[in-house]
Structure 1
Amino acid sequence: MRTLIDRYLDAYNRLDVDGMLATLHPQVAFENITAGVATVRTQGIEEFRRLAQSTLPLFARRRQTVTRYEEKDGMAQVGIAFEGVFALDLPNGARAGQMIALNGRSEFRVHDGLLIHIADISD
């Protein structure tokens, strides 16, 4: 599972949507959870593709770094340090060139050798 997750994160860091998709099961479920609330959910690889492509213009660069890794009961829990540089001005006040850094965690499940569930969780 770790090798598959590393491939996914490497593609994410390179802004390589096709590389990310190559690690995903056709029925992949993705959710982003912030402060206990699901802010984004996708079901299936096409919804994931649309979301991933829609976020590409936001960042000049971005990087998720694994800070902790644990597998238990078929799920990997991964500590993540995220750093990104905005590529454009955003309505929330963030400016192009501004850096953002967050810590959180991601949960991954695998089915048939591909990622079938990804949850990005931050407080």
Structure 2
Amino acid sequence: MENTVQKLTSASVLNDRTEKIFRYVEAYNKMDVEDMVANFDDGIIFQNIMNDEKTMELQGIEEFKKQAIEALSYFSEREQTIESITHTHSSTEITINYRAIAAIDFPNGLKKGDEINLKGKSIFEFSAHGKIVRLTDIA
């Protein structure tokens, strides 16, 4: 059987990816949208998948920023913590724990002040120039 495993890029590239992901998560936790998108490509594609169903797809940095700013009002607190990181040839997957406090009443019955605790993963895809070109959140 032929070996089809692709050689991973250099350690410096993987370290660069990790730094960009940590910066994104730190900015997310601080609710700093400008810093969240600092390493995004202008044509970023964002997808949110919940229970194996795509619930949102955005294209372009401006569309992402608009949604991210709107989402700031949904939670009085929010925090992602990275549990693991897995690199492949052109993407990096992180598993996360997510905790938030609702700032509003949601149509699904979640009430203002309720705490949310989820586990999920995010997949960051990178261009050859090191920009994040796709982000997929899965819960």
TM norm structure 2: 0.84
> Larger Cα Rg: Structure 1 or Structure 2?
2
Point out where structure 1 has 5 or more consecutive residues left out of the alignment.
Answer: none
Q: Which moved more, 1:88-97 or 1:74-83?
A: 88-97
Deviation digits for residues 42-68 of structure 1, max 9, x if unmatched? Answer: 011011011101111000010111111
Deviation at 1:94?
1.1
Aligned length: 122
**Corresponding letter in the other structure for 1:104:** G
Residue 8 of structure 1: aligned partner? 24
Pairing 1:63-102 to 2, within 5 Å after superposition: 63-102=79-118
Residue of structure 2 aligned with 1:22, choices 38, 46, 53: 38
**SS of match in other structure, 2:120:** strand
| 2-structure distance, mates of 1:60, 1:113 | 32
Could you say which structure has the greater relative contact order, defined with CA pairs below 8 angstroms and 6 or more residues apart? 1
Helix, strand or coil: the match of 1:9? helix
User: Tell me, what secondary structure is at the counterpart of 1:100?
Assistant: strand
RMSD of aligned residue pairs (Cα, Å)? 0.9
Structure 2: unaligned runs, 5 residues or longer = 1-16
Q: What does the per-residue CA deviation read over 1:73-112, in whole Å, with 9 as the maximum and x for residues that have no partner?
A: 2110110110000112222211111100000111001222
The CA distance in 2 between the partners of 1:75 and 1:88, in whole Å, is 34
1:117 is matched with: 134
- In the other structure, the counterpart of 1:61 is 77
Q: Aligned-pair distance for 1:14?
A: 0.5
What is the DSSP-based 3-state SS (H/G/I as helix, E as strand, rest coil) of the residue aligned with 1:12? helix
Identical-pair percentage: 34
Give the match for residue 37 of structure 1. 53
Distance 1:89 1:116 in 2: 33
TM-score of the aligned structures, taking structure 1 as reference length = 0.95
